[in-house]
Amino acid sequence: MREYADFLATKLKESSRKPLDTLAAFVVAWSCVDSTKPLSLSLRRMLGLGYIGSMEEAFSKALALISSDPGFKEKAIEALYIAVDRDWVRKDLLEVAWKNAGKELLQAINELSNFRRSYSINIFKNEIESAISAQQEKTFEALQEQMIERKAMEVSPTPQAPEVEKPPLPSKEKPEEVEAKLVKDELTENIKALSRELSGIKIFLDKLNETLNSLRSDLSELLKNTSSLVFLAKMSDTLEYGLSELKKSIEGIRQELSSLTKTLIKEIKEIATPLPPPMPVEGKKPEKAPEAPQVGTIIEEKIETPPPPSPPPISIETPESEEGVLEVEKALRALDKALEAPEAPEEKVENYLFAAIGNLNKLENILRDHAIAGKERRWRISIRIDSIRYVGDIQGLYPGISEDVLKELMEKSISIIVLPVKNIASLAKVLEKVQTILVSLKVIIIDSENPIKELEKVTSYPIIYRKIDSADDVRKAIVEALRKIS
């Protein structure tokens, strides 16, 4: 951005438009011509613009959109606010103040502070004022040097005219005294200028000290609630382990049932199949068992009875009893198939990322069983609705977070989970800054049953209020957030 400082200084001094519009158009144009910084890509996505390449063309287009479209103007001012929040952007823009456009730049930043106040904007205003003062001091020193040179020329001896006797005059100051007086006056002026400069520096240092004390207090309170503790997460996935054991049990039951079914069918066949009657022996007559004679009866002569008719031949066709056995076998096989574990249908998985700020110790205790191994302050909640499994990763924001994780949150996080702390004011400042860097942010979840005005003032995103005391409460909050953005 520094390479376009001359371009911005020229536009601020020449443009008849408001300095804020010119500065916002410059930041928008820079995002369209830069391809090396993550910030430019984020701003282009937020503004809905593409890569252009030419600074003059991009600036003209941005200025025209700001003038004609109020909605785009709001987005451009928001982009300027996001950019000024970064130290390197403020350093690059400060070059404009050293190119005689400091007053216009200060006016633009003052107008920006009317839309939204922040610590970064106040710091930038002080830096611009210091640069303007230093620039004026340089100009004053240059003028002072010119005046000293002019006085020296006036004091320098002129060509002497021929001596003419004159009447004695009152005594005049000697050249040495005149030179000493000039040096004294010059030193006096320098001391006065230095005193004024020191006074300005003292005022600036007093303001800076107040700001640092306030920031130190906010950070101290916030660090109490977001201390970075490294813990070992549980690595066992109880759900998958339980499903694996259940599948093994079902397989064992299926094998036992199959073996039992075969044995049962075999026994039923043996019981249900009728045995053929005994065949009579040819040439023999069946003998009738002798009856014991009763008293008073006469034993009659034995009368030969004809042999009983031979049994009918055994039919080769399947008897009805065997058909019943086949039906039983068929039913048991159907039951065996029904008991087999069905293959799980292929499920659809959707992944979402959530940022968390505030009392992370509370969230850590609630989601201890859902921690992701090897990742600090990161938890995973899995929710299945119908045929879709939603996987929500929750990443806590803590001091010393890596740049890669922060970049991932900037690009992918759809929500901020806010867990209030005692100092709501410091938490509101953190929320105000964090929401400006999350380009995919759509909704904010606050751990509270009642609205919190201090947090509502710093955000325009939809807010979900839900008391979070358990992992189940976190699941319900995530489901509500997904429904709100769908």
pLDDT digits (tens, 9 = 90+) for 357-382: 999 999 999 999 999 999 999 999 99
So what's the pLDDT on residue 239?
Answer: 52
pLDDT band at residue 234, thresholds of 50, 70 and 90?
very low
So what's the pLDDT on residue 225?
Answer: 53
Q: Contact 435/459 with Cβ under 8 angstroms?
A: yes
Least confident window among 180-184, 355-359, 401-405: 180-184
pLDDT: which is higher, 287 or 431: 431
Integer Cα distance of 169 and 77 in angstroms: 75
So what's the pLDDT on residue 128?
Answer: 84
Integer Cα distance of 2 and 292 in angstroms: 137
pLDDT: which is higher, 331 or 455: 455
So what's the pLDDT on residue 221?
Answer: 63
Residue 114 has a CB neighbour count (10 Å cut-off) of 8
So what's the pLDDT on residue 202?
Answer: 74
So what's the pLDDT on residue 2?
Answer: 80
Neighbouring-strand partners of residue 379 = 371, 394
Give me the half-sphere count of Cα atoms (radius 13 Å) on the Cβ side of residue 9: 16
H or E element in which residue 23 lies: helix 19-33
Measure CA 31 to chain center. 22
Q: Contact 82/40 with Cβ under 8 angstroms?
A: no
Q: What is the mean pLDDT of the chain?
A: 76
Mean pLDDT of 430-441: 89
In 323-406, which ranges are E strands?
A: 348-358, 378-385, 388-396
Q: Contact 222/423 with Cβ under 8 angstroms?
A: yes
So what's the pLDDT on residue 360?
Answer: 93
pLDDT: which is higher, 458 or 222: 458
Q: List Cβ neighbours of 299 (8 Å cut-off, separation of 6 or more).
A: 293
Mean pLDDT of 312-333: 59
**How does DSSP classify residue 34?**
-
Residue 152 has pLDDT above 80, yes or no: no
Q: List Cβ neighbours of 245 (8 Å cut-off, separation of 6 or more).
A: none
Residue 467 has pLDDT above 90, yes or no: yes
- For the record, the structure tokens of 193 come out as 């200028």
Phi and psi of 371, rounded to 5°?
-70, 145
pLDDT band at residue 155, thresholds of 50, 70 and 90?
low
pLDDT: which is higher, 15 or 347: 347
For the sheet with 443-446, list strands across it.
Answer: 378-385, 388-396, 348-358, 413-419, 443-446, 463-465
**How does DSSP classify residue 370?**
G
Residue 139 has pLDDT above 70, yes or no: no
Residue 72 has a CB neighbour count (10 Å cut-off) of 19
pLDDT band at residue 103, thresholds of 50, 70 and 90?
confident
Torsion of CA 325, 329, 335, 340, to 10 degrees: 170
Which pTM does this prediction carry?
Answer: 0.34
Residue 342 has pLDDT above 70, yes or no: no
pLDDT band at residue 227, thresholds of 50, 70 and 90?
very low
- For the record, the structure tokens of 445 come out as 């979840």
Mean pLDDT of 395-401: 91
So what's the pLDDT on residue 161?
Answer: 46
pLDDT: which is higher, 144 or 474: 474
How far, CA to CA in Å, does 21 sit from each of 15, 57, 279, 478? 10, 16, 119, 39
So what's the pLDDT on residue 357?
Answer: 93
Least confident window among 2-16, 118-132, 243-257, 455-469: 243-257
Q: Contact 399/359 with Cβ under 8 angstroms?
A: no
Report percent pLDDT > 70 for the chain: 66
Least confident window among 63-72, 103-112, 359-368, 392-401: 103-112
Q: Contact 22/73 with Cβ under 8 angstroms?
A: no
Residue 281 has pLDDT above 80, yes or no: no
Work out the angle at residue 123's Cα, subtended by the Cα atoms of residues 120 and 128, and round it to the nearest 5 degrees. 125
Integer Cα distance of 105 and 93 in angstroms: 9
So what's the pLDDT on residue 233?
Answer: 37
So what's the pLDDT on residue 299?
Answer: 40
Location of structure tokens 């959707």: 350
Q: What is the CA radius of gyration of the chain?
A: 48
Location of structure tokens 């519009």: 21
So what's the pLDDT on residue 253?
Answer: 73
Torsion of CA 223, 227, 228, 234, to 10 degrees: -150
Nearest Cα residue to 65 out of 30, 10, 28: 28
Residue 248 has a CB neighbour count (10 Å cut-off) of 11
Nearest Cα residue to 456 out of 409, 420, 413: 420
pLDDT band at residue 468, thresholds of 50, 70 and 90?
very high
Report percent pLDDT > 90 for the chain: 20
So what's the pLDDT on residue 251?
Answer: 76
pLDDT: which is higher, 322 or 35: 35
Parallel, antiparallel, or unpaired: how do β-strands 378-385 and 413-419 relate?
A: unpaired
